[in-house]
Structure 1
């Protein structure tokens, strides 16, 4: 089932979400790798299998295997990093932020695709997971790679729509 067909199963009270999914799918500003990579990373970032399956079907044939794996890897590594770095940021005892993380994160240094694209996927999942420290870190790298505010903002829009669709669907399915 495509992502559009999945969104079409949402109830009428979520009509805006259906419209937003259509808008995202028709948006040509990102290019296919970024658009479908963001959709896939964010779907995996929700942890909700039905939307993951829909996003996988939507991205099939539109992403290279390396880009699809990088999107999945961004969701996986941010699932870990967003918890850890949100903890170090929110803990009253700032000593934790000075200690080594001792977490493997090799994929960040070698994602197998353009670094800016991987950072964009990571930023979107970090936005979904509410890790301000990670958002700031990824946004800084994106700016260093020349990614503009509109693209960065679009990645947050993708994250917000995919998260909302997963939340509503899981409540009514």
Structure 2
């Protein structure tokens, strides 16, 4: 498993991250495809090539080609939407929230995978990108479509752990060689 190789790269000071990475793929509240789609979408949101490669390699054995494309699409559309809607929310001038976004978002209506899964994967990406408006909107959608609060929590845990793995690996790569932690 490529994720196992990724775990081996996590230094000792980030042992909790490594342990959590071992656990996030065993959800009792989400299906296997929901878990791996959330992990793939979250990995793409981190922009870390090593994390993306490892998760994508393992996800390929768990997701159909259509589900893989939908997870990628969730990461792509949320990269745009999270910036736009977070900005609209944070601006003091609330007039922007009343204006039409005028952004193409057709993929949301027809993602190529189960709509609830796509919404769940969008939720995970929105957590990484820090958009409260999008988090609220996607949480409402998945709860209305039957995902439990534990399922929402699992998607958020997946996003948090995948993001932390990328942050640790990026941090280690940025340190001078003599300061990098031994694995």
Question: Which TM-score bucket, shorter chain as reference?
Answer: over 0.9
| Cross-structure match for 1:108 | 108
Structure exhibiting the larger radius of gyration computed from Cα positions: 2
| Cross-structure match for 1:162 | 162
TM-score (norm. length: structure 2) = 0.91
RMSD between aligned residues: 1.1
Displacement of 1:27 in angstroms is 3.6
Structure 2: unaligned runs, 5 residues or longer: 174-183
Displacement of 1:146 in angstroms is 1.3
| SS in structure 2 at match of 1:25 | coil
Which has the higher relative contact order, 1 or 2, with Cα contacts under 8 A spaced 6 or more apart? 2
TM-score (norm. length: structure 1) = 0.96
Instruction: State how far apart, in whole Å, the 2-side matches of 1:119 and 1:82 are.
Output: 13
Which stretch has the larger CA shift, 24-33 or 81-90?
24-33
1:10-159 equivalence runs, <5 A: 10-159=10-159
Structure 1: unaligned runs, 5 residues or longer: none
Instruction: State how far apart, in whole Å, the 2-side matches of 1:58 and 1:69 are.
Output: 15
Aligned residues: 173
Q: Deviations over 1:3-61 (max 9, x none)?
A: 12112211100011111011113445422211110110000011111110011111112
| SS in structure 1 at match of 2:113 | coil
Contact 2:82-2:130 at 8 Å conserved across structures: yes
Q: Deviations over 1:75-110 (max 9, x none)?
A: 010000000000110100111111111111111110
